[in-house]
Structure formats: C-alpha cells, structure tokens
Amino acid sequence: KNQVEQSPQSLIILEGKNCTLQCNYTVSPFSNLRWYKQDTGRGPVSLTIMTFSENTKSNGRYTATLDADTKQSSLHITASQLSDSASYICVVLSGGSYIPTFGRGTSLIVHP
Amino acid sequence: DAGVIQSPRHEVTEMGQEVTLRCKPISGHDYLFWYRQTMMRGLELLIYFNNNVPIDDSGMPEDRFSAKMPNASFSTLKIQPSEPRDSAVYFCASSPTGHSTDTQYFGPGTRLTVL
C-alpha cells in the first residue's frame, strides 16, 4: 500500500531560526514528490516539485531534498518568518497517473 | 488572473439535503481536480477531468457523490443526499497540461457542514 509519513506532526520555532521537516514514502512506481504550504483557511500552494533525478530544489527560503534510494525527502526552511506558520504537506505521485498519496502534514508555528 | 474560484465558501445544510459545490478553473487549464480534506483523513483526491472528460473517479466515496464538467470553465460536485460524515473542506484545483510535474493551483475551498 502506498504511504507517505511526515514528521514531526507539529513544530514550534522562534522567528529567524531554521527548521527541517521530514517525509518518508513507500509509493511505487515513483513519479514525483511535491511539497505544499497550506495557510489556515486556504488552499494548498505548491512550493517544489521534484522528479526521480533531482536531489535538491529551492524556492526562496525553502529548500527541498530528495533521496530516491532511501525514499526520503526533507523541506528546509531558512531564517523563518511569522508568515511561515502553516501546515506543510508532502505528496507523492505514482508513475503515469495523477493519483496522489498525501502525507498528513506538519503544522509549523513560528513565534516572534 | 483571478485564480481558481469556488462557491460557496461556506455551506451549512441538514442531513438528507442536496448540496452542489461549484468551481471555475483558471482559464486555459486543461485539467481539473476535486479534493476533500478532513482532520481524520487529510487530503484525498475525489475525481479529475481532462478537457471536460472525467478520467479517474476512483476516489469518489459513494454513489451519493457525482461530478460534472459541462464546459471548460465550470465544474460541479454534487452530494445527494448529504450525510454528517460528508462534512469537510472541498477543494478544486486546476493545472495547465497533462504533464505529471505540472503545478496544480488550488482554490480557496468550500467548507461544508452537514448537520
């Protein structure tokens, strides 16, 4: 069964600090892995999309990594801001289809 | 562009009533997706369309759920009859082409409460 596990479930950090969110998956065959940011009361917004051959992809202060051998991904947030407070969702798509497997998300709170 | 538009933003109804959720995708996007999000199950894909044609509806939970896309600028998700367990936030998303790495653009969602 395809699964995506995210950790930690929730995280509280101080403004300006860095943090790393983890995503482990058992989706096969693999097509691509996506990280979304979801603010409270809003729809998810795409941060990065990585295929099998990509190890790292950045979007501003967000950097995602992918290790296809160990089936792990991470999302690193640099110099956090209050606006980074949100849920971060990892999604893996199977090869040849649009059917996604979603993680349950990591809830990040950034305190001033 | 205004982005993906969904209506209504909030819907409260009683068990047994028919509910219709509406979505206008981004102009020029060929793919449209309907998702459901609950605390218990997280995000789930219900159905998606390509050029107005339903491609995969394996995520539709029951026959009470139906979705249509009569034209490229409009889609509906209907629940008849509604039940309390249908309470969730329903998102519509669209993407430009059929490439698997296309970005999907989500609407603001419709929060449905079935009493």
Residues of B in contact with A97 (CB under 8 A): 56, 100
* pLDDT above 80 for B100: no
Tens digits of residue pLDDT in A72-109 = 999 999 999 999 999 999 999 987 667 889 999 999 99
Give yes or no for a contact between B92 and B4, defined as CB atoms under 8 angstroms apart: yes
Q: A99, B56: Cβ pair inside 8 Å?
A: yes
**Is B84 strand, coil or helix?**
helix
Q: B91, A96: Cβ pair inside 8 Å?
A: no
Q: What are phi and psi of B85, to 5 degrees?
A: -70, -5
Nearest to B59 by CA among B78, B45, B69, B48: B45
The tally of CA atoms less than 13 A away on the side-chain side of residue B115 is 4
How far is residue A54's CA from residue B83's CA, in Å, rounded to a whole number?
A: 44
Count of other CB atoms within 10 angstroms of residue B3: 14
pLDDT-derived band of residue B98, with 50, 70 and 90 as boundaries?
A: confident
pLDDT-derived band of residue A60, with 50, 70 and 90 as boundaries?
A: very high
> Any residues with CB less than 8 A from the CB of A12 and at least 6 apart, and which?
A108, A109, A110, A111
How far is residue A75's CA from residue A105's CA, in Å, rounded to a whole number?
A: 12
